[in-house]
């Protein structure tokens, strides 16, 4: 019975997860190393990798700042509209990425609300790099905030208050007390955010316009190559994304292990289990 179940699970995982991975790499290397590298050496492919990295490099720090600020406000203060803010943060999770993309087209596109204004100033957002970045930022908004909010709510405000009463300034309390307490959750949120920024397809696809070498990110470039029956280059690029994803998973695993260890070290004694009194 046990073997049967385990076997079924392994077979399913193998079929649904491992086999596709193997196929990606097998196809990418079907014409050998030279075929693989030739598939990536193309200047359009290079531009796609660069654009994807730019989008990630911009959206991840923005996400950290926004996530920290939002989580801080939600966890440590009482204000009107707090639950609305929490809901709004979740919006990118609940709407389809296509809709997110359309939203930006309606706002900034040539026929959009701000289209004339932008055109008059010779600024392009849709079918250009800013649009890609905007769409990526939009779909990644919840990641850091979602990781931090429950943790910071559970931790309460007392340690910061203690720091202030001991004479620390706001930034001192933030860097010496708050950040060390949320360090691992923050890193975890950043990793998830980064993974999504690299892999986003739907929203970016709508705003991109698929201009090869200019507005194609890696996922978009893969689609283009695939549709042109260029299987080896398509899968070569896909293998790069898969590698990044695997690396992210390893990092995530390592973080979880580290934070579990540091939690065990600094403990979850009774002072953590009890909510501060009000």
Partner 1 sequence: MSIEIQRVTKVFGGFKALDGINLTVPSGELVALLGPSGSGKTTLLRVIAGLESADEGAVLFDGEDATQRHVRERGVGFVFQHYALFKHMTVFENVAFGLRVRPRRLRPRKAEIADRVTRLLKLVQLEHLGNRRPAQLSGGQRQRVALARALAVEPKVLLLDEPFGALDARVRQELRTWLRRLHDEIHVTSVFVTHDQEEALEVADRVVVMNAGRIEQLGTPEDVFHRPANEFVMHFLGNVNVFHGRVEGGKAMFGDLYVEHPVAAGRPGAAGDEPKDAKVFIRPHEWDISAHRNGRPAMEAVVTHVNAAGPVVKLWLLSESGEPVHAELPLDHYRALELRSGQRVFLSPRQVKVFFD
Q: How far is the CB of 276 from partner 1 (least distance, A)?
A: 6
Angle among Cα 229, 232, 236 to the nearest 5 degrees reads: 125
How far apart are the C-alpha atoms of 133 and 204, rounded to whole Å? 8
Q: Helix, strand, or coil here: 214?
A: coil
* DSSP symbols for 40-87: HHSHHHHHHHHHHHHHHHHHHHHHHHHHHHHHHHHHH---TTHHHHHH
By CB under 8 A, name the one of 4, 83, 227, 269 that touches partner 1: 269
CA distances from residue 236 to 93, 213, 218, 221 in whole angstroms, order as listed: 30, 17, 11, 11
> How many of the chain's residues bind partner 1 (CB under 8 A)?
29
Q: How far is the CB of 175 from partner 1 (least distance, A)?
A: 10
Query: Residue 1 or residue 166: which is nearer to partner 1 going by CB?
Result: 166
Binding mask 180-199 for partner 1 (x = CB under 8 A): xx------------------
How far apart are the C-alpha atoms of 234 and 216, rounded to whole Å? 13
Q: How far is the CB of 253 from partner 1 (least distance, A)?
A: 22
Q: How far is the CB of 163 from partner 1 (least distance, A)?
A: 7
Q: Helix, strand, or coil here: 248?
A: helix
Q: How far is the CB of 162 from partner 1 (least distance, A)?
A: 4
When asked if residue 4 is in the footprint of partner 1 (CB under 8 A), the reply is no
Provide CB contacts within 8 A for 147, sequence distance 6+: 67, 185, 186, 188, 189, 192
When asked if residue 265 is in the footprint of partner 1 (CB under 8 A), the reply is yes
Residues 151-170 that bind partner 1 (CB under 8 A): 158-159, 161-169
By CB under 8 A, name the one of 177, 190, 204, 255 that touches partner 1: 177
Q: Tokens for 133, please give them.
A: 């970045």
> Which residues contact partner 1 (rule: CB under 8 A)?
158-159, 161-169, 172, 176-177, 180-181, 262, 265-272, 274, 276-278
């Amino acid at each position: 019975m046990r073997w049967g179940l385990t076997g079924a699970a392994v077979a399913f995982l193998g079929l649904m997860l491992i086999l596709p991975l193997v196929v990606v790499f097998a196809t990418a290397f079907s014409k050998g190393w030279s075929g693989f590298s030739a598939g990536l050496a193309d200047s359009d492919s290079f531009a796609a990798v660069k654009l994807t990295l730019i989008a990630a490099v911009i959206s991840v720090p923005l996400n950290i700042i926004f996530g920290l600020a939002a989580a801080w406000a939600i966890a440590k203060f009482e204000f009107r509209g707090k639950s609305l803010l929490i809901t709004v943060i979740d919006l990118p999770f609940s709407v389809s990425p296509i809709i997110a993309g359309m939203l930006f087209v309606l706002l900034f596109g040539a026929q959009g609300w701000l289209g004339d204004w932008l055109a008059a100033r010779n600024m392009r957002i849709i079918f250009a790099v800013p649009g890609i970045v905007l769409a990526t930022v939009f779909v990644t908004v919840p990641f850091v905030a979602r990781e931090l909010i429950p943790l910071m709510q559970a931790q309460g405000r007392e340690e910061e208050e203690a720091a202030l009463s001991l004479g620390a300034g706001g930034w001192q309390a933030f860097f010496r007390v708050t950040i060390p307490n949320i360090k691992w959750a923050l890193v975890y949120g950043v990793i998830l955010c980064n993974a999504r920024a690299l892999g986003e397809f739907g929203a970016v696809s709508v705003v991109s316009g698929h201009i090869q070498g200019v507005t194609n990110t890696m996922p978009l470039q893969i689609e283009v190559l695939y549709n042109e029956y260029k299987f080896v280059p398509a899968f070569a690029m896909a293998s790069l994304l898969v590698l990044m994803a695997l690396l992210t998973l390893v990092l995530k695993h390592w973080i979880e292990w580290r934070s579990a260890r540091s939690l065990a070290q600094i403990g979850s004694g009774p002072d953590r289990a009890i909510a501060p009194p009000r």
